[in-house]
Amino acid sequence: AQTVTQSQPEMSVQEAETVTLSCTYDTSENNYYLFWYKQPPSRQMILVIRQEAYKQQNATENRFSVNFQKAAKSFSLKISDSQLGDTAMYFCAFSWNNNDMRFGAGTRLTVKP
Amino acid sequence: DTGVSQDPRHKITKRGQNVTFRCDPISEHNRLYWYRQTLGQGPEFLTYFQNEAQLEKSRLLSDRFSAERPKGSFSTLEIQRTEQGDSAMYLCASSLAGGLGSYEQYFGPGTRLTVT
Q: Which of A2, A4, A92, A100 to mutate to test the interface with B (most CBs of B within 10 A)?
A: A100
CB B29 within 8 Å of CB B94: yes
pLDDT given for residue B98 in this prediction: 64
Q: How far is the C-alpha of B98 from the C-alpha of B78, rounded, in Å?
A: 29
DSSP state of A88: E
pLDDT 10s digits, A38-94? 999 878 899 999 998 888 899 999 999 999 999 999 999 999 999 999 999 999 998
Number of alpha helices (DSSP H) and beta strands (DSSP E) in chain B: 0, 11
Non-local CB neighbours of A12 within 8 Å, separated by 6+ positions: A109, A110, A111, A112
Distance between B47 CA and the closest CA of chain A, angstroms: 8
CA distance B91 to chain A (A): 9
**Are A36 and A90 a contacting pair, CB within 8 Å?**
yes
CA distance B103 to A98: 5
> At A72, which amino acid appears?
A
Q: Is B68 exposed, middle or buried (0-12, 13-18, 19+ CB in 10 A)?
A: middle
A109 pLDDT more than 90 = yes
Q: Do A98 and B97 touch (CB under 8 A)?
A: yes
Q: Tell me: the pLDDT tens digits for B43-101?
A: 999 999 999 999 888 888 889 999 999 988 999 999 999 999 999 999 999 988 765 55
